[in-house]
Amino acid sequence: MNKTLIIAEAGVNFNGSLEIAYKMVDKAKEAGVDIVKFQTFVPEKLMSRYAQKAEYQKKTTGADESQLEMIRKLMLTFDEFAQLKKYCEKVGMRFLSTPFDLESIDFLEKLGCDLWKIPSGEITNYPYLVKIAQTGKEIILSTGMSTMDEIEAAVAVLKKHGAGNITLLHCTTEYPAPLDEVNLSAMCTMRDAFGLEVGYSDHTQGIEVPIAAVAMGATVIEKHFTLDKNMEGPDHKASLEPDELAAMVKAIRNIELAIGNGEKKPSESEKKNMAVARKSIIAARDIKKGEIFTEENITTKRPGSGISPMMWERVIGTKAIRDFQEDELIEL
């Protein structure tokens, strides 16, 4: 199978600090992911001053401030993002950032990003979808909170306006996502319905679900990570720490090896065990030359280096070409 694209979602877990963002790039590189992804936004262009925090955000950051006040403390400037991209290039890590407003799309386009990741919350944002599609670049589209009709409509807009290849990510938009609401099978439903590559954006705790998603055919895995789950901020609690991220990458790469090419045949390591584990047609007792083989004088036993028991009916009724001792392999 093709290699799974693994995206380490730094999101806003850098807490508005360029230095923390640099450290996250380093940890993503050490973990072996393919892409480290951030979130780019102009707070006042993303939400109004009346926007309320999500319940999970109230639990992790308190209910006293608005969502706008919260994200102002989590942002980097455009200039800082330019520095961050240069740092990624310096250390050999692929940079990606999700834009959350039209101005940020323009900035990231000028910055030279070669791939778009559209978050679940923008799947019904028509002007946003059109602007991204018009760049003609490849798109990864998260589908959390979406119906099949909404996904179909978004894909139609993207295709109409010139989008490149589109990959759909199944997602459960809750932090952390309850296991009984993950519904991984929906990923396969989308693949079959839209004929597009699919993947999984994970908000569950632990690494089991993204590993299962790869086994089910995910071509992209996105997972939030943080330097420390105890840091202040809305998403740290539902994120992996660096050692967990590395463990997830290792497990996914192992699963890729195990999935193989789908052709059912003996593997190279199996071949040497075939004669040991299988059986042959064997003399059940001493047999004289010319004696007729019957179910009373032949049987099947290991090793499997003689005549296969699948030849049983062909052997029954034929004459022994020589004397055979008990347990000796029958020859015709």
Give the pLDDT confidence of 241-276 residue by residue, as tens digits. 999 999 999 999 999 999 998 999 999 999 999 999
Q: Are 37 and 55 in contact (CB under 8 A)?
A: no
For 198-229, write each residue's pLDDT tens digit: 999 999 999 999 999 999 999 999 999 999 99
pLDDT tier at 77, thresholds 50, 70, 90: very high
56 vs 147: which has the higher pLDDT:
147
Question: For residue 156, which phi and psi values (nearest 5 degrees)?
Answer: -65, -40
Distance CA 143, CA 240 (A): 21
How much is the average pLDDT of 234-239? 88
| CA pair distance 182, 96, nearest whole angstrom | 25
- Identify whether the C-beta of residue 38 lies closer than 8 Å to the C-beta of residue 10: yes
For residues 234 and 72, give the distance between their C-alpha atoms in angstroms, rounded to a whole number: 13
Compute the mean pLDDT over every residue in the chain, rounded to the nearest whole number: 96
Burial 153-172 (b: 16+ CB within 10 A, else e): bbbebbeeeebeebbbbbbb
Confidence at residue 320, expressed as pLDDT on a 0 to 100 scale: 98
Task: Answer yes or no: is pLDDT of 237 > 90.
Answer: no
pLDDT band at residue 55 using 50, 70 and 90 as cut-offs: confident
How far apart (Å, rounded) are the C-alpha atoms in residues 228 and 231?
A: 6
Quick: pLDDT tens for 26-54: 999 999 999 999 999 999 999 888 888 88
Question: What letter does residue 324 receive in the DSSP assignment?
Answer: B
Mind listing the pLDDT tens digit for each residue in 271-285?
Answer: 999 999 999 999 999
pLDDT, residue 76, reads 95
* Number of neighbouring beta carbons within 10 Å of residue 288: 10
Q: Are 102 and 129 in contact (CB under 8 A)?
A: no
Asked if residue 312 has pLDDT above 60, the reply is yes
In angstroms, how far apart are the furthest CA atoms of the chain? 100
Which comes out higher in pLDDT, residue 288 or 233? 288
> What mean pLDDT do residues 4-19 have?
95
Instruction: Round to whole Å and give the CA distance between 251 and 56.
Output: 29
Which helix (H) or strand (E) is 140 found in, with range? strand 138-142
Closest CA to 227 of 219, 218, 236: 236
Of the pLDDT bands very low, low, confident and very high (cuts 50, 70, 90), residue 93 is: very high
Q: Which helix (H) or strand (E) holds 168?
A: strand 166-171
| Encoded tokens for 324 | 């055979």
In angstroms, the CA 131 to CA 312 distance is 70
CATH number of the domain at 5-259, please? 3.20.20.70
Tokens matching residue 327: 């347990």
Bridge partner residues of 99 (DSSP): 40
pLDDT computed for residue 53 by the predictor:
83
pLDDT of residue 1 exceeding 60, the answer is: no
Dig out the tokens for 125 from the structure: 């944002």
- What pLDDT score does 66 carry? 83
The torsion angles phi and psi of 62, rounded to 5 degrees, stand at 90, 165
- For 139-197, write each residue's pLDDT tens digit: 999 999 999 999 999 999 999 999 999 999 999 999 899 999 999 999 999 999 999 99
Taking the CB of residue 296, how many other CB atoms lie within 10 A of it? 8
d(CA 51, CA 134): 29
- 63 band by pLDDT with thresholds 50, 70 and 90: confident
Q: What percent of the chain has pLDDT over 90?
A: 88
Q: Domain segments of the chain: what residues?
A: 5-259, 268-315
